[in-house]
Amino acid sequence: MFRNLLIYKLPAGWQASLAELEAALAAVPFVECGSTQPVSMGWVSPRGVAHGAVVESVAGQFHAALQIEKKILPGSVVKRRLDELAAQVTKDSGRKPGKKHQRELKDQAMLELLPRAFTKRGQVRVWLAFEPGLLMIDAASPAMASEVITQLVQAFTGVTAPGFNVLPLNTALSPAVLMRDWLASDEPPAIFGIDRECELKSADEQKSVVRYARHALDTDEVKSHLEGGKTPTRLALTWNSRVSFTLTETSMLKKIEFLDVVMEGRAEREPSDQPGAHFDADAAIATGELEQLITDLIEALGGEAEAAAPAVATSPAPGAALDPAGGQASARPADEAPPWA
């Protein structure tokens, strides 16, 4: 159910009922891109059911899904059309278009091409856990998570109280320090087993990187890199022999995988062609395991420390387009790769 998780702190004391969450997000439904709209985003059923609820409550945990659609417009295609328009201007006027005119021609080229562009869709899952006061986002990058948080802030503003403004998870120890200690130690922690992947980076001008894949890490070679000043930026771990994942220097959990022992106690279930037929069981298992994993990880990092700056601005960025439902669309160029790819 979850592949990656970025973890954020909910505002102190912030609570919302299922009805409040549903009303807030249902007001910003997903709408397909318009003919000349490069990006659109909105909320859809996390269960995958057409016209279903956009917020689901399972075992006391709340689930939502932001759907993003982006027009695929390769830069080479835009450039070819721009060159054609510029050549026509030169032919008609006898002069090459200047920089300002070039920008206008590029806008014209994109407006002409967008209605014929293919689209790509992706979903980002959101998990709200009120008891520990955490927000988890299944995004591949902090930039994508920031876009999701912006959508949440806009949806919840004026609907719930107090205001919604999440903060990055801040711990007493940085993940880099913890990973270094574990790699340098001859006795790694019992509940977190070290697997066979890691990445080490130097802080000098050369920025050299050493990556290990399917390789033993309890070696003198790894310790030598650590003694030489390299810092772990990624480390593959297994929690309690139940969940494997990769911890990054930014506290992000990547490549989350539930091991066979997690599914052994689950009753046999009949296969189903119905969308979301096993959503409740999968959601309960995933959040039950991951909530305890996150709790143990925070404890290993020395517990929570005072948070610094907000994770995202509470208002749309200047110049960002609005989607048809009123949400903020990405300000990235149309020819840039989508963040969920």
Model confidence pLDDT, tens digit, residues 285-310: 999 999 999 999 999 999 998 755 56
Which amino acid belongs to residue 186?
D
Q: Between these two residues, 232 and 165, which has the higher pLDDT value? A: 232
Q: Residue 104 corresponds to which tokens in the numbers above?
A: 């206008």
Contact between 182 and 72 under an 8 Å Cβ cutoff? The reply is: no
d(CA 5, CA 140): 8
Residues 6+ apart with CB under 8 A from 333: none
Residue 198 — φ and ψ, nearest 5°?
-160, 165
Strand partners, 244: 238, 257
d(CA 287, CA 207): 37
pLDDT at 141: 92
Q: 3-state DSSP call for residue 102?
A: helix
pLDDT at 337: 44
Which amino acid belongs to residue 185?
S
Work out the pLDDT band at 161, boundaries 50, 70, 90: low
Task: Give, as one character, the DSSP assignment of residue 321.
Answer: P
**CB burial string 245-271: b at 16+ within 10 A, e below:** bbbbbebbbeebebeeebeeeeeeeee
Tokens 């439902």, residue located: 325
pLDDT at 194: 93
Q: Tell me how far CA of residue 128 lies from CA of 89, 133, 218, in angstroms.
A: 55, 8, 37
Alpha helix stretches (DSSP H) within the chain? 18-26, 75-93, 99-113, 142-156, 175-184, 220-227, 260-264, 279-300
Q: 3-state DSSP call for residue 261?
A: helix
Q: Give ∠ CA 284-298-278 in degrees, rounded to 5.
A: 10
Contact between 227 and 233 under an 8 Å Cβ cutoff? The reply is: no
Tell how far CA 24 is from the center of its chain.
21
Residue 134 — φ and ψ, nearest 5°?
-125, 150
Nearest to 64, CA basis, from 138, 6, 147 = 138
Model confidence pLDDT, tens digit, residues 232-287: 999 999 999 999 999 999 999 999 999 988 877 565 555 555 666 689 999 999 99
Q: Residue 5 corresponds to which tokens in the numbers above?
A: 């998780």
d(CA 152, CA 165): 9
Q: Between these two residues, 23 and 15, which has the higher pLDDT value? A: 23
pLDDT at 21: 94
Q: Is the pLDDT of residue 104 over 50?
A: yes
Which amino acid belongs to residue 267?
A
Q: What is the share, in percent, of the chain residues with pLDDT greater than 70?
A: 84
Q: 3-state DSSP call for residue 236?
A: strand
Model confidence pLDDT, tens digit, residues 213-231: 999 998 999 999 999 889 9
Contact between 225 and 235 under an 8 Å Cβ cutoff? The reply is: no
Work out the pLDDT band at 54, boundaries 50, 70, 90: very high
d(CA 58, CA 79): 49
Task: Give, as one character, the DSSP assignment of residue 130.
Answer: T
H or E stretch including 214?
none
Q: How many CA atoms lie within 13 A of 331 on its CB side?
A: 9
